[in-house]
Amino acid sequence: MKARCESVGPLVGFVLAVWLTPAASMAELNVDEAELENFVIQDCGSCHGLTMRGGLGPPLRPEDLEQLPAEAIAAIIREGVDGTAMPPWKALLSDDEMLWIGRQLKSGALVADD
Ligand code: HEC
């Protein structure tokens, strides 16, 4: 039993390392970052606040999105939230763009200081 654990140990360690390494999940996305940042501030900001602190829509600061991985945020952006003012954006944004926005929101890069 001990020998078996030792033999899978390195593999588990490797898988964990890959899984936990931000670089691995931060594969290059094919987006125009400057254009997309403007889009988020203007279009998403019209409801969520120009500094993502909320308005008609809820605030989108990292602390508000703790429960949501970037992929889940991208899915919300893609499909919208039925029965609310949050529209689906899939006709306008690519998957890469929506995932990029999800990551930016998680990182707080778009939350401006007051
Ligand atoms: C017309 C107003 C409006 C616009 C424009 C809008 N949203 Fe929303 N959004 C909302 C509302 C309202 C909700 C809350 C829905 C609910 O009650 O669950 C929401 C919810 C969300 C959520 C889920 C937040 C959470 O904590 O569950 C995310 C993420 C989000 N919006 C991102 C975006 C992004 C990114 C954009 C721009 C691409 C955008 N929204 C544009 C109105 C808007």
pLDDT tens for the chain, 114 residues long, are: 555 555 655 555 555 454 545 544 566 899 999 999 999 999 999 999 988 999 999 999 999 999 999 999 999 999 999 999 999 999 999 999 999 999 999 999 888 765
- The response to whether residue 99 sits with its C-beta less than 6 Å from ligand 1 reads no
DSSP state of 63: G
- The response to whether residue 41 sits with its C-beta less than 6 Å from ligand 1 reads no
Atom of ligand 1 nearest to the CA of 85: 12
- The response to whether residue 85 sits with its C-beta less than 6 Å from ligand 1 reads yes
Joined together, the tokens standing for residue 109 give 């890069």
**Inter-CA distances, 8 with 1, 11, 15, 20, Å:** 11, 5, 11, 18
- The response to whether residue 43 sits with its C-beta less than 6 Å from ligand 1 reads yes
> What predicted TM-score, i.e. pTM, was given to this entire model?
0.76
**Domain 30-107 belongs in CATH node 1.10.760.10:** yes
